[in-house]
Amino acid sequence: MRNSLILLGLLLITTAKAQKFGQKITGGFNGAVMIPSGEFREVNENVAWGLRGHAMYNPSRQVPVYVGLELGYAVMGSTTQYFYDPYLGFYDEYAVTASSNIFSIQLKLRVQPTKNVAVRPFAEGLIGWNDFFSTVNVERQTYYRPDYNDSYGNSSEAQWAMTYGGAGGLNIRLKKTGDQWLELKTAYMIGRKTMYLTDPRIMSNGQVYFDQKESETNMIIPQVGIKFGL
């Protein structure tokens, strides 16, 4: 997750620097809900919650077309359980967390009027990949044994699935002057078939189990967030 958030942050850093030098680049962050659709919903009813960030470039103010990149990270299922480990009359507490996750990377083409109005509708075409992976992390909560590592983790092998689709939405100006906008957006993405792990469970002995499933990975993705610059 840390690497995904770093990539999302770099999108906005690039946007801010570009605007400083007058380039026609915009960006923003959206909270997103990834709702399974079709066969994906029949096999897996878990909704994923996460964050998406994007940066776009408009080659010409006379042409209402933007090209860009969108990155996202979402958690489809997560559970945490605490364990105690006796040592010389003390007890160290450990937190075991297991989660199933989705990392997204997509190229996008947006058509949006460039006129200076308070509400601007837009339509997008997107193509890219979703990476389905699971993680297990163990973190020591107390510090009675300083010779032990505080935490460690493990991730499953990434399962990449191509995805493509479209989106529509609105940008609503938040101030009469300035480049801050409320973005409302819904995307429908068609995802290729792949295997993925869901429904993490932690047993009383600390063992972690997931359900392995396989299906197409179509999704409906409502989003709301903040956009900078237009």
Alpha-helix residue ranges (DSSP H) falling in the chain: 2-20, 39-43
12 CB-near residues (< 8 Å, 6+ apart): 27, 28, 29, 53, 55, 228
3-state helix, strand, coil in the chain (%, to 5): 10, 65, 25
Q: Is the pLDDT of residue 6 over 80?
A: no
Mean pLDDT computed over 88-103: 80
pLDDT of 5 reads 46
Per-residue pLDDT of 194-205, as tens digits, reads 999 999 999 888
Per-residue pLDDT of 149-184, as tens digits, reads 556 667 777 789 999 999 999 999 998 777 889 999
Q: Are 202 and 161 in contact (CB under 8 A)?
A: no
Return the CATH number at 142: 2.40.160.20
pLDDT of 141 reads 76
Q: Are 190 and 219 in contact (CB under 8 A)?
A: no
pTM (2 d.p.)? 0.82
pLDDT of 21 reads 38
Say how far apart CA 17 and CA 96 lie, in whole Å: 40
pLDDT of 12 reads 47
CA distances from 141 to 83, 84, 96, 135, 147 (A): 10, 10, 10, 19, 14
The fraction of the chain above a pLDDT of 70, given in percent, is 81
Lowest model confidence (mean pLDDT) among 10-14, 18-22, 46-50, 52-56 = 18-22
Q: Is the pLDDT of residue 225 over 90?
A: yes
Say how far apart CA 12 and CA 28 lie, in whole Å: 7
> Which residue from 174, 162, 173, 169 is spatially nearest to 221, judged by alpha carbons?
169
Mean pLDDT computed over 121-143: 90
Name the more confident of 229 and 18.
Answer: 229
Q: Which residue has the tokens 């009813």?
A: 45
pLDDT of 182 reads 95
> For residue 75, what are the domain limits?
2-228
Per-residue pLDDT of 23-48, as tens digits, reads 478 899 999 999 999 999 999 999 99
Count CA atoms within 13 Å of residue 228 on its CB side. 17
Lowest model confidence (mean pLDDT) among 60-64, 72-76, 200-204 = 60-64
- Count of domains for the chain: 1
Q: Are 109 and 164 in contact (CB under 8 A)?
A: no
The helix (H) or strand (E) run that includes residue 134 is strand 119-140
66 CB-near residues (< 8 Å, 6+ apart): 26, 56, 57, 58, 108, 109, 110, 111, 112
Residue 18 main-chain phi, psi, to 5 deg: -65, -40
